[in-house]
Amino acid sequence: MMKFVVSSNTLFKELQLISGVLNSSNALPILDDFLFQLKKNELSIYASDIETTINTTVQVESNDTGEITIPAKLLMEMLKNFADQPLTFKVDTDKYSIEINSESGKFKIIGHDPEEFPKMLTVDNPATLEIDADVLVSGINKTIFAVANDDLRPVMSGVYCSFSPTGMIFVATDAHRLVKFKKPLVGAQGESSIIIAKKPFNLLKNILTTKDGKVKLDYNKTNASFNIDNLRLSCRLIDGKYPNYDAVIPKENPNKLTLSRQAFLGSLRRVSILSNKTTHQVKLKISGNALSLSSEDVDFSNEANERLACQYNGEDMEIGFNSKFLLDMLSNLDSDEVDLGMSTPNRAGVLTPIPQPDGEELLMLVMPVMLNN
């Protein structure tokens, strides 16, 4: 038998933070549960999808130790409907039954054998780093949208993270676009790199938006864990060699277009509505200090044209892009202006924010699409 008293609000908030890891359908029914491990007045709670595990710690009133797994959806639904109050949990660890007493009533649910819950991922002989939470969130936000959904090339379905005394680099690409984010880093010993899957990075981003301070990262060749305050996220790394991203970034872009990010974004949104639904192609025609954006969908006789003022250094040019990729990139920048560097209509365009945030280097590359003149 184990018994503990906990605030309903505190418990609900912590469960919300870790519940993102749970899948809607699981091959193993035990993965629909939270694992509760009680050690006196400290309750550790785990949620897992096997590849990623998140755990948090909540202070409770208790003198007992023990563990139980509790159906996650059921518990969250119950807690959501309580006003903030102390709840008393009484657990029969032999029968896996849980009785929850509130100020006004009593509720009984059945849990499961905690032995069935997957073992925690461990990071043996780790390399360790400390990264500011806001820097980590910024790096994830600015790269994760460009990750590929490609089961055939698993390395591209994650964010490549490289750490060295010269800084931290995050890279994401789906072969049509590429984002490279670089930021100074203190405390990296030598050079190392890991590839983190999209899901754990998205979960981490959501957790960190509620936290301040330093994140402690422990990693080896197979696993990584991120620790901040009372919370830990552990995940398996993607195994494999990341493509040589520097080789695809054009070094010479003599044609430079500078314009308002918001104006460019607004115009693209409007013009792209009438673009071909398969290619999403928008044509950029630049001459002098005028930029024309146009799109057409021949099947439906739809077309759109807009003009924007800009600064342009280079030769007159016509180039086509997939508007969805450009919109994603511009939406994930927060600068007032952007630079689009180009060389020829069949080579990648390079988008950079103006000005670059302090100490940060951000570069976004997008492949052109063939214009059907």
pLDDT of residue 110: 97
User: Domain for residue 230, yes or no?
Assistant: yes
pLDDT of residue 188: 85
pLDDT of residue 353: 96
pLDDT of residue 27: 87
Structural domain including 315 reads 250-369
Per-residue pLDDT, averaged over 290-307, amounts to: 94
User: Do 240 and 257 share a domain, yes or no?
Assistant: no
Exposed / middle / buried, residue 125 (Cβ in 10 Å: 0-12, 13-18, 19+) = exposed
Per-residue pLDDT, averaged over 71-76, amounts to: 97
The answer, yes or no, to whether the previous bond of 250 is cis (omega within 30 of 0) is no
Per-residue pLDDT, averaged over 27-38, amounts to: 96
Domain count, the chain: 3
Confidence category of residue 357, pLDDT binned at 50, 70, 90: confident
pLDDT of residue 373: 56
Judge whether residue 4 has pLDDT over 80: yes
Say which CATH number the domain at 330 has: 3.10.150.10
User: Do 146 and 95 share a domain, yes or no?
Assistant: no
In tens, the pLDDT along 249-276 reads 998 999 999 999 999 999 999 999 999 9
User: Do 143 and 184 share a domain, yes or no?
Assistant: yes
Per-chain mean pLDDT for the chain: 95
Angstrom distance (rounded) from CA 19 to CA 76: 9
Per-residue pLDDT, averaged over 208-223, amounts to: 94
Judge whether residue 234 has pLDDT over 60: yes
Judge whether residue 149 has pLDDT over 70: yes
Per-residue pLDDT, averaged over 227-236, amounts to: 96
Judge whether residue 277 has pLDDT over 80: yes
User: Do 256 and 359 share a domain, yes or no?
Assistant: yes
User: Domain for residue 122, yes or no?
Assistant: no
User: Do 242 and 256 share a domain, yes or no?
Assistant: no
DSSP per-residue string spanning 126-167: -EEEEEEHHHHHHHHHHHGGG----SSSGGGGEEEEEEETTE
Burial 242-272 (b: 16+ CB within 10 A, else e): bbebeeeeeeebebebebbbeebbebbeebb
Instruction: Return left, alpha or beta for 265; rule: phi > 0 is left, psi -120 to 50 is alpha, else beta.
Output: alpha
Judge whether residue 358 has pLDDT over 90: no
User: Domain for residue 121, yes or no?
Assistant: no
What is the reported pTM?
Answer: 0.92
